[in-house]
Amino acid sequence: MSLEENKKIALRMLEDLSNRKIDACLASMADTATWWIGGSFPLSGTKTKKEFADILASIGPRMAQWLKITPKTLTAEGDRVAVEAESYAKLTNGRVYSNQYHFLIEVRDGKIQSVREYLDTMHANDVLCS
């Protein structure tokens, strides 16, 4: 696949996630895909596609306004797409979750094979896990 096609797949997945189209987001991932979240807080580590879906299901009820992810920059080389992004969500407890990310997304054969998510883990832990 071309770099432009890989970029479109990565951006579509983030757009689907941002629009709470969870089934579409997961459909863009290979069955064997993994999602790694940096740091050492409860959401950290390498997750299977199912485990990532479970994380989304667990944070959903805490959000009064679903997580909006806004890509800022995009770079692609080979099978990898790098995306810098920002997020914003209002939680049911009145708090705001706003984070900055670097996603490294591997795309092969038209499917996302892996995602590596780098973020402010202290903020994520404080707001999403406390």
With a cut of 90, say whether residue 130 has pLDDT above it.
no
Query: Which pLDDT belongs to residue 11?
Result: 98
With a cut of 90, say whether residue 28 has pLDDT above it.
yes
For 43-65, the pLDDT digits (tens) are 999 999 999 999 999 999 999 99
CB burial string 8-26: b at 16+ within 10 A, e below: ebbbebbebbbeeebeebb
* DSSP labels, the chain: --HHHHHHHHHHHHHHHHTT-HHHHHHTEEEEEEEEE-SSSTT-EEEEHHHHHHHHHHHGGGEEEEEEEEEEEEEEETTEEEEEEEEEEEETTS-EEEEEEEEEEEEETTEEEEEEEEE-HHHHHHHH--
Query: Which pLDDT belongs to residue 93?
Result: 95
| Cβ neighbours of 117 (radius 10 Å) | 21
Query: Which pLDDT belongs to residue 94?
Result: 95
Domains in the chain: ranges and CATH: 3-128 (3.10.450.50)
| This prediction's pTM | 0.94
With a cut of 90, say whether residue 1 has pLDDT above it.
no
